[in-house]
Amino acid sequence: MRLLLLPLMLGFSGLVHAGDTPAPKVLRVLTYNIHHGEGTDDKVDLARLAEVIKVSKPDLVALQEVDRNTTRTKKTD
């Protein structure tokens, strides 16, 4: 499984007064190919995947290979 966490720096220079130095804003973006929930041990364990996401503390998550109502995941969404 590949996990990619991208910290992005957001600047809003047009919103501050001259001389002010605002603290940089950080947006943590996580993109994760969950391989329909199956780990490298061939087990489908969505709770385990959710824990990986949770400990990464992202602000935004984009998931790939999410199944919906398929037999390979026993119709687990």
Give Cα 35 to chain centroid, integer Å: 14
Three-state DSSP class for residue 55: helix
pLDDT for residue 77:
72
| CB-based contact 30:3 (threshold 8 Å) | yes
Domain ranges in the chain? 3-9+24-73
Local mean pLDDT, 10-residue blocks, the chain (77 residues): 55 59 87 90 91 94 89 75
Whole-angstrom distance, CA of residue 38 vs CA of residue 48: 10
pLDDT for residue 58:
94
Whole-angstrom distance, CA of residue 22 vs CA of residue 32: 31
pTM of the complete model = 0.61
Give the helix/strand (H/E) hosting 62: strand 60-64
